[in-house]
Every structure is written in structure tokens, then in C-alpha cells.
């Protein structure tokens, strides 16, 4: 017959094994995140070196998306104005969530400078790496514009993808930072899309 101590040891062992498995999974994900960061930062192609820096400059302080909103509103009539308003609102919400909330809660250092084999790394900010505010704003704008005007949303998809790639290539972020920013952007767009209906339902 097993003693009480033996039964206690038997009950405790599975959680320990599960904890070790979870830690192993997190370590594997972190290592993959680091390897992908170094690989993308070392990506040297002519088009990347010519295209990505201007994309980063255009996306700084949301200039790219504000310009896109003006073009969409001017060229799309009522539908364009609706799409532009949704995009700007979602972008503002995403920036608040990413830069005003998430970065304050999660302190993460930027990728080590020695991983980045080019000078772009010198221009990155000193704030928390997690999440990518640029990506959050880009995804929020595009995801909010697309339902109101699918053509405009499709046109914004390529620069959005380039912004996400550039944030890792420049050494400003890990891929996981970009993924988190994209998730925040999608959440902000969904909030902007559904909030009016919830408000009207409550008022009704």
C-alpha cells in the first residue's frame, strides 16, 4: 500500500512535468523569435535597402496613414469619407492601446545592436520594444478601411506589410512585437466597427 507521502508525490508530479513542458515551449518560441530577428535584419537585397527606409520615414508619426486618409476621403465620395474616418479612429485607438498602455505594462529591450548589420539600428527609439506601435497603427487603419471600401483596404495592404517587415529589418523590433502590434491593430479596428452598433442598441 502506498503511503500518504507517496500519493502526494504522485499527485504533484504531473503539474511539474507540465510546467517543464510549458517552459520548454516558451524557450523554443523565444529562440525562434531571436533567430528570425537576426535573419531578417541581415536581409540584404537591393529593393529592400531602397524601399524599406522610405517606408519607415513615411510611417513615422502616422504621416503615411494620414495622407492615405486624405486621398481616400477625397477620391471616394461618401464611402471614402466613411472609410477614412474609420481608419483614422481605429489608428488612434491602436496607438493609445499600444503606446499608451501595452508599452507601459511590458518593459522589453530592443534587439541587441550587434545583431543588426546596418546603420538603421542607430535611429530606433529608446522605449519598450513590445509591442510595435507602427504595426498596430498600420494594421488598424487598413483593417478599418477595408470593410467600408474594400478597394482602398486592398491598396493599403502592401504598405502595411512593408511597415511590419521594416520594423524587424531595421532592428527596432522582434517579430513577436510586430505580431502583438498586428493583434492590437485588428482589435482596435473591430472595436471601431462594432462600437456604434452597441451604442445604438443601448440607446434604443
Q: What is the pLDDT of residues 11-46, one digit of tens each?
A: 544 556 566 666 788 899 999 999 999 999 988 777
User: Are 37 and 115 in contact, with CB atoms under 8 Å apart?
Assistant: yes
134 in helix, strand or coil?
A: helix
Cα separation of 15 and 199, whole Å?
Answer: 45
User: Are 143 and 90 in contact, with CB atoms under 8 Å apart?
Assistant: yes
Domain residue extents for the chain:
4-203
The parts of the chain modelled with pLDDT lower than 70 are 1-22, 196-204
The confidence score (pLDDT) of residue 122 equals 81
Q: What is the pLDDT of residues 159-173, one digit of tens each?
A: 999 999 999 999 999
User: Are 117 and 110 in contact, with CB atoms under 8 Å apart?
Assistant: no
Question: Own/partner pairs for 97-100, CB < 8 Å, 24+ apart?
Answer: 97/136, 97/184, 97/187, 97/188, 98/131, 98/132, 98/133, 98/136, 98/137, 98/181, 98/184, 99/127, 99/133
62: left (phi over 0), alpha (psi -120 to 50) or beta: left
> Residue 187, CB half-sphere, CA atoms under 13 Å: how many?
13
Amino acid at each position: 500500500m502506498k503511503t500518504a507521502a507517496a500519493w502526494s508525490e504522485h499527485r504533484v508530479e504531473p503539474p511539474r512535468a507540465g510546467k517543464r513542458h510549458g517552459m520548454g515551449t516558451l524557450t523554443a518560441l523565444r529562440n525562434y523569435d531571436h533567430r528570425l530577428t537576426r535573419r531578417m535584419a541581415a536581409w540584404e537585397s537591393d529593393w529592400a535597402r531602397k524601399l524599406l527606409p522610405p517606408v519607415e520615414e513615411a510611417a513615422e508619426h502616422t504621416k503615411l496613414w494620414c495622407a492615405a486618409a486624405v486621398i481616400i476621403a477625397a477620391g471616394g465620395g461618401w464611402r471614402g469619407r466613411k472609410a477614412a474616418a474609420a481608419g483614422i479612429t481605429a489608428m488612434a485607438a491602436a496607438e493609445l492601446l499600444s503606446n499608451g498602455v501595452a508599452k507601459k505594462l511590458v518593459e522589453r529591450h530592443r534587439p541587441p545592436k550587434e545583431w543588426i548589420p546596418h546603420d538603421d539600428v542607430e535611429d530606433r527609439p529608446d522605449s519598450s520594444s513590445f509591442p510595435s506601435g507602427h504595426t498596430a497603427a498600420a494594421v488598424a487603419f487598413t483593417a478599418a478601411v477595408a470593410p467600408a471600401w474594400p478597394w482602398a483596404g486592398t491598396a493599403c495592404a502592401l504598405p502595411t506589410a512593408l511597415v511590419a517587415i521594416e520594423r524587424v529589418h531595421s532592428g527596432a523590433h522582434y517579430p513577436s512585437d510586430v505580431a502583438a502590434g498586428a493583434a492590437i491593430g485588428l482589435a482596435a479596428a473591430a472595436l471601431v466597427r462594432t462600437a456604434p452598433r452597441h451604442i445604438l442598441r443601448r440607446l434604443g
